[in-house]
Structure 1
Amino acid sequence: MLPPGKIPPEKLGKFVFNRLGARDDGVLVSSGPGIDAAAIEFGDRVLVASTDPITGAEKGIGFYAVHVNANDVATFGARPRWFLVSILLPENSDEGLLERIMEELHGSALKLGVAIVGGHTEVTPGLDRPIVVGTMLGEVEREKLVTSNGARAGDAIILTKWAGLEGTAIIASERGEELEGVLGREIVERARSFIEMISVVEDALTANSVGVHAMHDPTEGGVTNGLHEMADAAGLGFRVYRGRIPIRGETLEICRFYNLDPLALISSGALLIAAPREKAGEILAALAKKGINASVIGEFLDDAGTRVIVENGTERPLERPESDELWKVV
């Protein structure tokens, strides 16, 4: 039986990646391990497309749908431009729910300069919560295209913002009353506000302006799974340092209470970057000018079998999460 969350990579290889329809020479990047978007050549421009559902949250679902999909497009160095969305509502939903979701979609798209150009809306039997599935399209100059499988051995691994941002915001919203009784309202309100930081469009475009080899936003399975996905895509290993991975205090408090691993908690809002080590300082400086926190947390290794984390001076394997920590709570 398959666990909740993303389908494991070995199952994708067995059932998905070998059934992708017709071959098209215009497709520069297609589906594969650790690859969250496709790149299609159009002359001197490249169309970048990505699709993702929002299934683990109800509050702010339209906001998440726009930004999570925009993030995937931005990791290819492309600016998000056009959005299609399918809204699936539970039976007995009222018009107010549809209106709220559309207001969230509209406001989020407007903020990013994205046009909502199509989609589908229905009431779906069997659902206990709404599901929103988005497809984002963007474009980039051919020479500026970055792919998530482009990391190289020796590259510095940079993480922007903080691990676990999206998961923290979702848990604080869905379990707010319980958390306020334990941690206090101030901490919970700050944690809820992390939803405002889940876009990595500015992070990605800023880093790409300096020069990077690959970028990837760590969604389900958090930073840990994101590292594995980047390494899978490039056929590499990695070494990261636990003390260098930035985590907000609010995330740590919530994870302690629910006994969660913050590194395996959905982390939209953070961005993993593989960059030449000699450019790492320049990238950090460029991000800092935009007010974006970032840290070098490790490096990619030539040996794909070495995927480790160093904590308190001890190196140990960093295992791939079976599913996101969020599913233990919501």
Structure 2
Amino acid sequence: MENIKISIIIPIYNASKFLEKCIRSIMEQDFRDIEIICVNDGSTDNSLEILNKLSKEDSRLKIIDKKNEGASKARNIALEVARGKYCLNIDSDDWIEQGYIKALYERAEKDNLDITISNIIFDYFNDSSKNYILNDLEILDEKMISGEEYINIFLKNNFYGYTWNKLIKTELYKKNNLKYNEKIFMMEDVEMILKLAKIGKKIGKVNKAFYHYIQHQTNGSKKISLKRIEDMQRCYEELFIYFKKDKIILFELEKRCLNSIFHFLKCSFDLKNDIKYKIFQKEYLEKSKKTPFLKIQKGDIKMEIIYRNILKVFPYLKIMNLLFTLDSKVLEKLRMLRNGRSN
């Protein structure tokens, strides 16, 4: 009889270059009570062929083959069939070190944790000299915090919205009907981890980095486009609705939203991507014509309007550095200046 304790969820799209290493790193773990749910999201390379070969070696590997609809849809489909007490997301171009699953499981079981977090190795493909470890949540191994405490730390300090370095109780998803946002490509993890933390009572940590997050030019999240900005806004809009009764969290979300959008834009243009700022700005403002240049009353949460207004008031984004250290006083001054320009 199968004794599945953890469901490993892997969305796959044209990942043949990395896929076998990823899955073998899971198959070879010393923790055996797992199922490996691989969702082939309409790959046009030989990813499905690799999956079929590996499934013959290990019966724990389950393949779902579907048309291309995005990673969020793939994860949601996998969650529907997941049978483990816990879920662990892994991206198809990443890999994990030996002992990762066992360490997370034992830590979660010790204190009945809802979410168990590990550190991350940023692994630069073909240039290991750049590798570094990211410490996701600075607490001791034996310490636990509440979901509310985690949200506060997340919004104010780290903002590492990854679900693939977190062991999560499956019932958090299923009992609360939580699904990854299928309308967005970027920051769907941010939206999900904050919703999970609101429900989760106990959050803990394994202070070791096992997860290799591979950095390469084909990472989808590195591609710059108008869609990425719209995804950010949609993510925050969903969170504003979800946390509408918590004024403190709403205020922190508002600050973080501005920070995220402008940090993303700064990185995009500093990296000299093929999309130029003026073209980007023109495209965005053209799309925003139907939205009037509105004043935001104190207490209103309408970040899409705030962003459009800032772009019009500051067309060359010279206030970037100001936004990086945004606090409540700066935010209020920004509102006053914007409102003054809109009269």
TM-score (norm: length of structure 1): 0.29
Task: Name the structure with the higher strand share.
Answer: 1
Q: Which has the larger radius of gyration?
A: 2
TM-score, normalising length: structure 2: 0.28
Q: Which has the higher contact order (CA 8 A, sep 6+)?
A: 1
Q: Select the structure that is richer in helix.
A: 2
